[in-house]
Chain A
Amino acid sequence: MAKVRVATTWLECCSGCHMSMLDLDEKLVELASKIEFDASPITDIKEFHPVDVGIVEGAVGNEEQLEVLKKIRENSKILVALGDCACFGGIPAMRNFFKKEEVLKRVYVETESTVNPEKVIPHEDVPKLFPSVKAIDQFVKVDVYVPGCPPDPKAIEYALRELLEGKIPVLPPELLSYE
């Protein structure tokens, strides 16, 4: 059987969802024989190519993330939103309670340890922040949602196995419960 091609990416997030995928431990080694990874933070392939499944961790908070999201969408037959940040905005969306200028000022000018006499706010060669952080389905079509912060490895395993069999996973309720 041909290997299923998978690309993964992380946007505005903490990497915890990718770590939860690694928490499949030995099972990941077994699944690795059925999967061929394309661009992903764990490989050195830097450009997306057409794949069967694209997996996105994290929300969208800046222009670079939106570009990456669009690229993985264009290249994926099925797009999976992995974790609360991708599905709903998660913790990064807490910055939506504040104006983006206030956030930047606090971080780069006001924080107690910062020494910034010129009041420089990073702006060269760094992507522009959007005024708010949004879930990925605010920008592109999502085919599968796997919520959780992070999703339990069992939920990820279930979703992956269904996808490898060419099915769209519907998570049973017990895999949706998490703390």
Chain B
Amino acid sequence: MGNKLEIFPVTRVEGHGKVTIYLNEDGKVEKTFFHVTQIRGFEKFCEGRVFWEMPVMTQRACGICPVSHHLASAKATDKILGVEIPPTAKKLRELMHMGQLVQSHSLHFFHLASPDLLLGMDADPKIRNVIGIIEKYPDLAIRGVKLRKYGQEVIRTLAGKRIHPRFAIPGGVNKGLTVQERDSLLKDIDWVIDSLKDTVRLIRNLAIEWGEKFRKFASFPSFYMGLVDSNGNLDLYHGKIRLCDHRGRIIDEFSEDEYLNKIGEWVEPWSYMKFPFYKEFGYPEGSYRVGPLARINCCDDISTPLAKEELKLFREMIGDRVAEGSLFYHYARMIEALHSAERLKELLEDPDITGTELQVVSRDFKPEGVGILEAPRGTLIHHYKVNENGEIIKANLVVATVHNNHAMNKAVELVAKEYIRGPEIKEGFLNMLEVAIRCYDPCLSCATHAIGKMPLQVVIYDAEGNKIKELVKGS
């Protein structure tokens, strides 16, 4: 074995992680690992709690998209009650989810990813961050802050609190939306839609300008997974799970209740994050990607007009049905943010949204329930089993970032092999490894709900297994 190189922590991602690179005698990259170094254990410590606590408790898996956990959990608890919730409650929950997507996608683009895209992957690390963006592109930075603020305000309006709200309850929601509140959210929605449209164009132009570099960066074939509605349109909240291959051909479609027959999670000794795969094809052959690009690759079309138009331009640009380069995640993410804002407007203009029938009750428990939705980073599954008192006996969470574990490892490997020759490595190249991971907007808080979180570490080991270089946060 040759040199080994580690990066720790991976920064501008949400959570804790590390990259280890082994070099062979010729100084070429032999193998790479992206490890997640934390676990918390939600699957264990939820046991014994009553199921109606779950939407509040499990969202502490993640402070970045708590609403996704809150709502997937609420969907699972509706199933335990065995009820169909009223239309107003359903639409209010979806409204909250759309607010969440706008805030989370904006956060990722403006606060975390744009420094690499706009200042350059090898810009001075001292300025390669959101403060550097504030200094160099103040208008854009303010746009990002305001977009995120709007999404957070949708959440706060419904639940009184932006992070870790209490809103969805088993059987519905605990508060309605007043006409005044609706009007106040409608006031800014056109600005939000226009700004996101401009942002999609910004990335599109970057993709054109960067050309091959954009297209080829961490590009590899894989399967893709995402929810679609009954017409095959992108759906971020309801729908069936679709699995496509690298040509965009549909391999399977199934409901959340079938997930255990379809999806398995592999365990490797070197990461606290598991490795999901499509069972029929086995591990690692059945590995797939989730999240914005996967959803854009899987869907036939998008129902809202502006995002529909952008999807058309996107497919024209790549000249194919499916895009494989990891940087296209950023482009897909903003198309989705635009769709979410358009959907927000549709929901706010729907007369049901200010309805007052918010909850159904049931005294009957079913023994288990599965809830699913598309969190900003990908498909999120909550599954609970309860006893006759409604206490959780088993909880299983398969979170968005985990599905992308194999993809992030692959992306790191490809970039390392392309750019790293020998142990003398410039900071900018190391950052490229992080750029590859950042495409997936990994939320290591969520991914390690199981036990942990992720910043990133890179350590290089030589042929004898001696550590020759290490970048460590906090050392």
Given contacts A62-B38, A127-B37, whether A15 and B453 have CB atoms under 8 Å apart is yes
Q: Given B15, B450, B472, which contacts A107 in the complex, CB threshold below 8 Å?
A: B450
* Inter-chain contact A91/B60, CB cutoff 8 Å: yes
Q: Which residues of A contact B60 (CB under 8 A)?
A: 14, 16, 90-91, 149
A48 within 8 A of B: yes
A103 to B452, CA, bound (A): 12
* Inter-chain contact A19/B45, CB cutoff 8 Å: no
Per the 8 Å Cβ criterion, residues 1-53 of A in contact with B are 9-20, 22-23, 25-26, 28-29, 32, 37, 39, 41-48
Q: How far is the CB of A20 from chain B (nearest CB, A)?
A: 6
A26 to B152, CA, bound (A): 13
Q: How far is the CB of B134 from chain A (nearest CB, A)?
A: 6
B107 within 8 A of A: yes
A126 to B149, CA, bound (A): 36
Which of A72, A111, A178 gathers most chain B CB within 10 Å?
A111
* Inter-chain contact B63/A126, CB cutoff 8 Å: no
B125 within 8 A of A: yes
B451 within 8 A of A: yes
Q: How far is the CB of B124 from chain A (nearest CB, A)?
A: 9
Stretch in A113-121, A139-147, A158-166, A167-175 touching the partner: A113-121
Per-residue contact bits, chain A 78-105, to B (CB 8 Å; 1 contact, 0 not): 0000000000001110110110001110
Q: Which residues of A contact B265 (CB under 8 A)?
A: 111, 113-115
Q: How far is the CB of B59 from chain A (nearest CB, A)?
A: 8
Q: Which residues of B contact A113 (CB under 8 A)?
A: 259-260, 263-265, 276, 396, 398
A11 to B257, CA, bound (A): 35
Q: Which residues of B contact A64 (CB under 8 A)?
A: 16, 37-38
Q: How far is the CB of B290 from chain A (nearest CB, A)?
A: 14
B455 within 8 A of A: yes
Q: Which residues of A contact B55 (CB under 8 A)?
A: none
Q: Given B107, B450, B472, B473, which contacts A22 in the complex, CB threshold below 8 Å?
A: B107
Q: How far is the CB of B5 from chain A (nearest CB, A)?
A: 13
* Inter-chain contact B63/A15, CB cutoff 8 Å: yes
A77 within 8 A of B: no
* Inter-chain contact A43/B11, CB cutoff 8 Å: yes
Q: Given B44, B129, B264, B271, which contacts A44 in the complex, CB threshold below 8 Å?
A: B129
Closest to B132 in A: A43
* Inter-chain contact A107/B270, CB cutoff 8 Å: no
A64 to B112, CA, bound (A): 24
A22 to B163, CA, bound (A): 11
* Inter-chain contact B270/A16, CB cutoff 8 Å: no
Q: How far is the CB of B28 from chain A (nearest CB, A)?
A: 21
* Inter-chain contact A106/B473, CB cutoff 8 Å: no
Q: Which residues of A contact B134 (CB under 8 A)?
A: 29, 32
A17 to B445, CA, bound (A): 12
Q: Given B38, B63, B264, B451, which contacts A17 in the complex, CB threshold below 8 Å?
A: B63
Extra 19 A-B pairs, beta carbons < 8 Å, given A41-B13, A44-B11, A47-B475? A10-B453, A13-B453, A15-B15, A16-B163, A19-B63, A23-B162, A28-B145, A29-B134, A29-B141, A29-B145, A42-B130, A91-B60, A92-B40, A95-B44, A112-B394, A115-B265, A125-B270, A150-B164, A179-B166
Q: List 14 A-B contacts (CB under 8 A).
A: A11-B453, A12-B40, A14-B60, A20-B63, A42-B129, A44-B12, A46-B455, A91-B57, A95-B45, A103-B39, A103-B41, A103-B44, A109-B267, A124-B270
